[in-house]
Structure 1
Amino acid sequence: MFSKPKKHSVSEAPPEIKEIYHRYSDEGGIMTASHLRSFLIEVQKEEKITEEETQAIIDHRDLNLESFFKFLFGDNNPPLLPSTEVHQDMSLPLSHYYIFTGHNSYLTGNQLSSDCSDAPIIEALQRGVRVIELDIWPNDSKDDVDVLHGMTLTTPVALIKCLLSIKEYAFVASEYPVVITLEDHLTPDLQAKVAQMVTQTFGDILFCPTSETLKDFPHLIHLKKGLSSQPSRLRSSLKLKKKRKRRNHRRESL
């Protein structure tokens, strides 16, 4: 049989909290701002908090056990640190992390009739989004590439405009890599054009695998301020285009 855990009243601290309080208070059972700061640094890992900030948190008053317990669950002690600084281990492969991902990143509104623009992409990158999705389609004249939500009334935006904005704003909020997912609705000729467009726009910051298959994802720390594009078939379409030209040349020379 299982017994229900003992419920504590709002003002009654459980044994674990009492133990921490007595560890960080003085012999008289009072926790000063200095004691509280030690607790915040050593237990809650708020290593940059100052004495003045700690004084402000408790309104320049010492804490007893009851007020310390209330502080722990109050608005002045949120469950997540307000700091945006990275505090996790960032040396593992990319597959070990949850990634802040966008969907239809180019839409200014609904998926049926809104405008497509680079403005939502810029806003997403400024908020720290690390995956940008672009749906790429042939333009009306079939000689260039637009970004739009296909088979709808959304108005297109040129792919090159989106790529240039991504390059400019990719690392405003974070130095960690940006992944561009390309939902590809293109002909082979336009795929090759996009491959050239991507490589020319991003240059050295574009992550290019050294082999056709990766045994492991690259480590995140090695991808700082880098971009990766998917799908990889854009890369292979560029190779395919070159092979076709060579075959045509052979036919002409025979």
Structure 2
Amino acid sequence: MEENRWFLSTIQNDFRAGRIDFDNTISLLEKLQISFDLIHVKHVFKKTLDKRKERTINIEDFRAIYRAIVHRLEFQELFRAYSINGKILSHSEFSEFLRREQGETEDCEKSALESILKYEPIEEVKKRRQMSFEGFIRYLNSEDCSIFKKHQRSVYQDMNQPLCDYFISSSHNTYLTADQLVGPSDLWGYTSALLKGCRCLEIDCWDGSNVEPVVYHGHTLTSKILFREVIQVIDKYAFMASDYPVVLSLENHCSPEQQEVMAECLRSILGDRLLTSTIGDTPVTHLPSPE
């Protein structure tokens, strides 16, 4: 009951109009301070829409999406293994979890209390020095449980060497979201790659109808998307995950006429973001650095 009240009080204002779209769903998940994978959310959201044949969802749909994303089976199994009633972890139960599963050997009771106060979102539960499943999820998804080194989450390498001195996070056939023979080409491929921090994207360019170049896996049954729209998506998402340069790998199969259209798209859409000449006035002897 307390979890339901917390959940409703957190999101009810966002459902004043009754229904929300995908962008609002993402905003709500961020508001709930839940870590999530954007591709997974899109997949679950699409499955929900396919059932309803609509473009928006109601509050019960959002609850289902939330549970599908957050309530992972292994989290539930761990929680139930230490919670006597399967609903709440007491201070002592959570202390035992820290000792047995997390390998903490010193003052587990103090660590348990600190984590409860830090991660438990339901005030009534927090006051009783207990942890709900929502708090347990937040704890497991937190930095305190991460196996990665915190100082390496941001760029710590020397980024002033020539561009060719680095391994560059690259995406092959970026436009494909399924197989390479009959699968769909989708702009989401570029959005997803850029949001993951990719700095090199592949664009396979072919002549399209109405003198509009298209992107697809040539000589296959994959669907086609407009080159112009690909560049628009890249312009929008290029620097959301990283400020470092994006390399566009153009596999060019277009006629001279449609190559002109490609060049016009790059110039008009990317504008000042497109590097069209060397940097500075000094003679160039090597590639510029990422910085």
Give the TM-score taking structure 2 as reference length.
0.48
Q: Which residue among 249, 256, 263 is the counterpart of 1:188?
A: 256
Give 1:106's match in structure 2, choosing from 158, 175, 196. 175
Asked if residue 177 in structure 1 is aligned to residue 245 in structure 2, the reply is yes
Q: Deviations over 1:178-213 (max 9, x none)?
A: 1111100011111111111101111111112239x9
The alpha carbon displacement at 1:140 in A equals: 3.5
Structure 1 residue 99: Cα displacement = 0.4
The answer to which structure, 1 or 2, has the higher relative contact order (CA under 8 A, 6+ apart) is 1
Instruction: Provide the C-alpha distance between the structure 2 equivalents of 1:111 and 1:84, rounded to a whole number of angstroms.
Output: 33
Residue 76 of structure 1: CA displacement? 7.0
- Percentage of matched positions with identical amino acids: 34
Instruction: Report deviation, 1:137.
Output: 0.4
Matched, 1:119 2:164: no
Mapped pair 1:61 → 2:129: no
SS of the counterpart of 1:220? Answer: coil
Query: Would the alpha carbon gap of residues 187 and 161 (structure 1) be closer, same or farther in structure 2, given more than 3 Å must change?
Result: same
1:157 aligns with 2:225: yes
CA distance in 1, matches of 2:203, 2:278: 25
Q: Which ranges of 4 or more aligned residues in structure 1 deviate by more than 2 Å? A: 56-60, 75-78
Distance between the aligned counterparts of 2:284 and 2:263, measured in 1?
20
Cα 1:210–1:177, aligned 2, differ >3 Å: closer, same or farther?
Answer: closer
2:289 corresponds to 1:219? yes
RMSD, aligned α-carbons = 2.7
Paired AA for residue 86 in structure 1: V
Looking at structure 2, the residues matched to 214 and 195 of structure 1 have their Cα atoms a distance apart, in angstroms, of 24
- Give the partner amino acid of 1:216: H
2: CA distance, partners of 1:130 / 1:219: 14
1:191 and 1:87, CA in 2 relative to 1: closer, same or farther beyond 3 A? Answer: same
When normalised by structure 1's length, the TM-score is: 0.55
The equivalent residue for 1:26 is none
Rounded Cα–Cα distance in structure 2 between residues aligned with 1:173 and 1:124: 10
Q: Which has the higher helix share?
A: 2
**C-alpha distance in 2, partners of 1:92/1:199?**
28
Which structure has the greater CA radius of gyration? Answer: 1
The aligned residue for residue 242 of structure 1 is: none
Please state how far the C-alpha of 1:214 moved relative to its aligned partner. 5.1
